[in-house]
Amino acid sequence: MVVDYQKRSRLDEVFYALADPTRRSIVEKTFQGDYSISELARQFPMSFAAVQKHVAVLERAELVSKRRHGREQIVRSNVAAIRRAEKFLGRYEELWRHRIDQMSGILDEDTK
């Protein structure tokens, strides 16, 4: 199966962005407050440019947004994108809980 990575859905972009531990860490940090890219870069063992690229992936997924403040680019989290992913995963949780309940019912019948 060939996947066209040029046509990712918004949800695909979220999961792609969150697949990387550095990006997850950046999202967690920005949930606690706004950070400049320079401040973020000082917290990771990588170059400023590498952190900037990670932020760009997060921005494409709408997990963060950037705004200019003088010479700095300030990064802020977007909780709505996380909520979309949570809602999607919640549907799977409901499905599996229902299936487990069904299996429990079948097992209860077999033990009678």
Domain containing residue 14: CATH number: 1.10.10.10
Residue 27 forms part of a structural domain: yes
Q: Per the structure block, which two tokens stand in for 76? A: 């802020």
Residue 45 forms part of a structural domain: yes
CB atoms within 10 A of CB 30: 21
Give the residue carrying structure tokens 């940090």.
Answer: 29
Which pLDDT belongs to residue 6?
56
pTM summary value: 0.76
Which pLDDT belongs to residue 1?
44
Residue 31 forms part of a structural domain: yes
Residue 103 forms part of a structural domain: yes
Which pLDDT belongs to residue 7?
59
Residue 3 forms part of a structural domain: no
- Please write the tens of the pLDDT for every residue from 77-99: 999 988 888 898 898 888 888 88
Is-contact 81 70, C-beta < 8 A? no
Which pLDDT belongs to residue 39?
97
* Type and span of the H or E element at 36: strand 35-36
- Please write the tens of the pLDDT for every residue from 19-50: 999 999 999 999 999 999 999 999 999 999 99
Residue 2 forms part of a structural domain: no
Q: What percent of the chain has pLDDT over 90?
A: 62
Range of the domain at 95: 8-110
At residue 56, what is the residue type?
A
Total structural domains within the chain: 1
